[in-house]
């Protein structure tokens, strides 16, 4: 989708930063909701995903998913699927395409996804 009048201007990646892209319309909407609800935390998430989407420094906040959720498919290619805890309930799930240095946001919401409960 091409940018249009009124859209936010995305910052281009510099140096070793990754490009961030929305993989779904739902992720784009959810990201907007997270930014409105918790702008500071959403910005920290944004910076973490741009700089080091595979970080294991804060496993309670940022970690690879396990089991059937450990991998996500995008464009016919499997990628590792990770999750970032933005707020107590808010989550961002993303796929890491290392060869293209791109992080694809597949889910963003102010509420915890139900598929990891249980």
At residue 116, the pLDDT reads 61
At residue 1, the pLDDT reads 57
Map residue 24 onto helix, strand or coil.
coil
C-alpha distances in Å from residue 64, one per residue of 8, 15, 79: 29, 24, 11
C-alpha distances in Å from residue 39, one per residue of 31, 48, 88, 90, 110: 10, 14, 14, 12, 12
Alpha-helical (H) ranges within the chain are: 25-37, 39-51
At residue 10, the pLDDT reads 84
The one-digit pLDDT tens for each residue of the chain (118 residues) are: 566 787 788 888 999 999 999 999 999 999 999 999 999 999 999 999 999 999 999 999 999 999 999 999 999 999 999 999 999 999 999 999 999 999 999 999 999 887 765 4
């Amino acid at each position: 989708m091409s940018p249009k009048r009124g859209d936010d201007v995305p910052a281009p990646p510099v140096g070793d930063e990754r490009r961030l892209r929305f993989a779904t319309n739902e992720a784009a909407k959810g990201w907007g909701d997270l930014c409105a609800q918790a702008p500071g935390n959403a910005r920290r998430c944004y910076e973490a995903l741009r700089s080091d989407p595979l970080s294991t420094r804060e496993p309670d906040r940022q970690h690879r998913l396990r089991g059937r959720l450990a991998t996500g498919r995008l464009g016919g290619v499997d990628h590792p699927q990770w999750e970032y805890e933005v707020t107590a309930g808010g989550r961002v799930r993303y796929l890491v395409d290392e060869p293209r240095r791109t992080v694809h946001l597949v889910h963003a919401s102010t509420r915890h996804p139900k598929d990891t409960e249980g």
